[in-house]
């Protein structure tokens, strides 16, 4: 009798298990390409963590119902077209911070700090056109605010050295925006464009010969991959430096003012989900950040032997000890 009850119980579970297995098999796994112009995107990278959270909030489980296909150019722009071709064969859309987007058929969500209209990436913010949408910054307004924050922290600043990738149109436009804002605020500008890793030594030599009061680094793959060298030079010269993104402060940079990247990644994931559900990128307005964060590395500040007004630390959204 006991045996018969177990047999009935076991047989009774078969239809339920079959439905469960069938349901799991019926779930369509979506494939999203992640294209980095810089370093490879590991699971611990802020981009991957932020996008994963955004997809999860919208019902996708990264690693289960959604898989990332990742490629990285590691600072070599000439590799980007081939990486795009690779992703086109494996992914339904691409999320990228580069400008090697394919304009034929695969949807693209761009995360960019450059002006997407001025660089020719899209037709307009409201109607991007083509196969591209994304999230980008208002460079002119943000550059002015960033420098105002810098001046509040160090009121005696007069001369600012600006490092940027002179081979990148988007970064050159962002440098020009920052340069214009700096002149309006009464700063003298020391322009130091770099094009390859070897150029950083020349930029450092120029600053050693003609010392600025501070450094502003415009962030792209080239400058980001060489950020430790900039941190070390600033430390040796006891120069305050401001960066555009908080991850640079967590890595050892002094301070940053820029978009809340958690919001940026969340908005990018939302755009991607809408595309996966059938929306056309051309019909999705190119969005802009609405939240901005001030980050300060207190340990770096102390190592430089510098002080800032206590109110600045109180204002900071993130203080790295």
Same domain, 103 and 240: no
pLDDT digits (tens, 9 = 90+) for 73-92: 998 888 988 999 999 999 99
What average pLDDT does the structure give for the chain?
88
The pLDDT score that the predictor gives to residue 225 is 94
Same domain, 173 and 311: yes
**300 pLDDT above the threshold of 80:** yes
In 279-318, alpha helices (H): 298-304, 310-315
Same domain, 105 and 121: yes
Phi, psi of 138 (to 5 degrees): -95, 90
| Residue 117 pLDDT class (50, 70, 90 cuts) | confident
Strand partners, 136: 112
CA distance 313 to 297: 10
Same domain, 235 and 272: no
In a domain, 217, yes or no: yes
* CATH code where residue 198 lies: 3.40.50.2300
The pLDDT score that the predictor gives to residue 140 is 65
Residues 6 or more apart whose Cβ sits within 8 Å of residue 69: 31, 32, 33, 34, 87, 90, 91
pLDDT digits (tens, 9 = 90+) for 55-77: 999 999 999 999 999 999 998 88
Residues 6 or more apart whose Cβ sits within 8 Å of residue 263: 289, 290, 291
């Amino acid at each position: 009798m006991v045996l018969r009850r177990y047999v009935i119980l076991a047989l009774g579970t078969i239809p339920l298990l079959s439905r469960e297995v069938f349901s799991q098999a019926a779930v369509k796994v979506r494939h999203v390409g992640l294209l980095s112009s810089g370093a490879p995107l590991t699971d611990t990278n802020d981009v991957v963590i932020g996008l994963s959270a955004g997809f999860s909030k919208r019902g996708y489980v990264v690693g289960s119902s959604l898989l990332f296909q990742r490629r990285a150019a590691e600072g070599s722009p000439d590799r980007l077209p081939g990486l795009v071709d690779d992703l086109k064969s494996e992914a339904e859309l691409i999320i990228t911070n580069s400008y090697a987007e394919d304009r034929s058929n695969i949807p693209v969500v761009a995360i960019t700090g450059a002006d997407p209209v001025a660089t020719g990436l899209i037709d307009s913010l409201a109607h991007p056109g083509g196969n591209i949408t994304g999230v980008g910054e208002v460079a002119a307004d943000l550059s002015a605010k960033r420098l105002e924050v810098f001046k509040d922290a160090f009121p005696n600043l007069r001369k600012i050295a600006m490092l940027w990738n002179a081979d990148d149109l988007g970064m050159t436009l962002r440098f020009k925006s920052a340069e214009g804002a700096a002149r309006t605020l009464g700063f003298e500008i020391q322009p130091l464009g770099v094009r390859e890793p070897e150029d950083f030594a020349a930029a450092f030599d120029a600053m050693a010969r003609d010392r600025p009061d501070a450094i502003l680094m415009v962030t792209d793959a080239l400058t980001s991959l060489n950020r430790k060298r900039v941190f070390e030079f600033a430390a040796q010269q006891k120069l305050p430096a401001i960066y555009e993104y908080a991850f640079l402060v967590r890595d050892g940079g002094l301070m940053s003012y820029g978009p809340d990247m958690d919001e940026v990644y969340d908005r990018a994931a939302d755009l991607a989900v809408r595309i996966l559900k059938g929306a056309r990128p051309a019909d999705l307005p190119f969005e802009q950040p609405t939240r901005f964060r001030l980050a300060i590395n207190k340990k770096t500040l102390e190592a430089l032997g510098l002080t800032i007004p206590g109110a600045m630390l109180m204002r900071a959204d993130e203080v790295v000890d």
